[in-house]
Amino acid sequence: MEKPIENYIFDLLKQHDCVVITGFGGFLLNPRPSYINDVTNQIFPPSKSISFNQNLCQNDGLLANYISTNENISYNEACVEILKFSRKSKLKISNGKSVLFNGIGEIFQSGDGQLLFKCTSSYNFNKHSYGLNHFQLTEIKNNQKINLKTITSSAAVILLFISLSIFSLNNRNFDDTSFLNIGPSISTSNYSPREPILNNNDHLKETPGIYNVKVSQVDFDLYKINGTNYHIATKKCFKLGFGRDVQIKIWKNKKDKIERQVCFLNVSETEYNDCYKITQVYNQLASNSQKVMVLTKRGKMKEATLVLEESYIDPYIIANSNPDEALPENTKKEDSLNIKNIGQRFINAIQSVTSNETNTSSQTSSQENIKQENIKLNSESINNENVKKVFIIVGSFSNIENAQALTKQLKKRGFPNAEIIGKNESGLIRVSVDSFFTEEEAHLVLKNTKNSIASAWVLNTN
């Protein structure tokens, strides 16, 4: 964005008594009458004090509309930007740091976990006191006899000033100066709760927002959202592993079209900003569907006889699912979403489409290659003192062809020693990027490997 969100909050507080940051809290302005400091003999004009309430976290549309107008982005994109700011601020506070709002104050966490606000602003947010500043009252020392005319004049001046102060406090006829009022509710200089805009057809559409979920890799560009029936596909994503923490971001662009992203934690694990566009959303495998899209052996999409039905992400299901929920191991349904079956379904679908393009000899050759690979897997268990038995593992697959494809991809990405090393206790085929004689050597290389493949880990088979 061109300006930080903190600046937009400061601008809105000049015209509104409440600005809510979705998912974080809200700033409130409370009227404060004019007063005299008895110690310094200074008199201050009417003003407004700032407070922060973390319970005011429901989106009222005010900040999002203001950002949308000034940044020339859609309302939903603005909502996502606010949510990103809220999550980043909460993470910063949880790490013992404070969040500074220029011209307003700073927010930090107390010892018991409560959010505290410290006002550092010298700006007077009371627009009716515009131009008024505090001033010093000089004590009059009269060593001569009392002059009745002087006392009468001084009293008249003081009464006049008090009358002006009372007038400024009670006057509420300046609403026409609110030229920045773009909120979704009626314009007012006082805070009034704003009801979110509801749409009767919302249950048929995706709700924009950020959803924390876990995903498991099914193929190179296909991921399953754990705890749901949904799969997401992205053409540029290559994040290995099962049960990875991600954020699903959904919003509407200026053309009212749904945009989706899957975002992984960055290398420093401070923010979900490693994002990839979601190109397809799938619901479930269905054997009775006519339209079929699968990955061919060359990585291209092609029609086949099995299908992953295209759908929309139901945010309600995502928000109310258990990300750690395991897939059922014993299922008799032919259209199961079990990860162990999906690879074979792809192969069967591809073979059914390309049956006219391939001959019997090529199929026989493919089967012989698979048999030879199985023999290689079984031979890995033979003990040899000169063989490296410590590995950096980057992936596990139930299908041999997926493991072979990953090995090929890794070699292209600069891992010449990538290889298949065998199966684990669950029968999954492991893929390693390198092997070592000692675990110490492996850990020295692991740190650099994690920069490219965050799910890498060390396996010692000695």
Asked if residue 212 and residue 111 are part of one domain, the reply reads: no
Q: Where among 177, 193, 228 does a domain terminate?
A: 177
Residue 385 · residue 437 · CB < 8 Å: no
> What residue type is 305 in one-letter code?
T
Residue 189 within any structural domain of the chain? no
Rounded Cα distance between 409 and 328, Å, is 30
Element (H, E) at 423: strand 419-423
User: Which among 379, 381, 383, 377 has a CA at the least distance from the CA of 403?
Assistant: 377
Tens digits of residue pLDDT in 419-431 = 999 888 778 888 8
Q: Where among 319, 353, 387 does a domain terminate?
A: 353
Number of domains making up the chain: 3
The pLDDT assigned to 2 comes to: 79
282 is written with which tokens? 């799938």
Residue 52 has pLDDT above 70, yes or no: yes
What average pLDDT score do residues 325-331 get? 40
Element (H, E) at 185: none
Residue 117 has pLDDT above 60, yes or no: yes
DSSP for residue 140: P
Residue 56 has pLDDT above 50, yes or no: yes
Residue 366 within any structural domain of the chain? no
Of 108-117, 329-338, 382-391, which one has max mean pLDDT?
A: 108-117
Asked if residue 312 and residue 210 are part of one domain, the reply reads: yes
Residue 134 has pLDDT above 80, yes or no: no
Residue 426 belongs to a domain with what CATH number? 3.30.70.1070
The C-alpha angle 110, 48, 45, rounded to 5 degrees, equals 130
Residue 359 within any structural domain of the chain? no
Q: How far is CA 160 from CA 134, 151, 337, in A?
A: 17, 14, 80
- Three-state secondary-structure class, residue 27: strand
Q: Where among 142, 177, 212 does a domain terminate?
A: 177
Residue 361 within any structural domain of the chain? no
Residue 342 within any structural domain of the chain? yes
Tens digits of residue pLDDT in 90-101 = 888 888 888 989
Domain range for 428 is 379-460
DSSP for residue 135: E
Beta strands in 7-58 (DSSP E): 18-21, 25-32, 35-37, 42-44, 47-53
Residue 446 · residue 405 · CB < 8 Å: no
pTM attached to this predicted model: 0.40
Rounded Cα distance between 399 and 340, Å, is 8
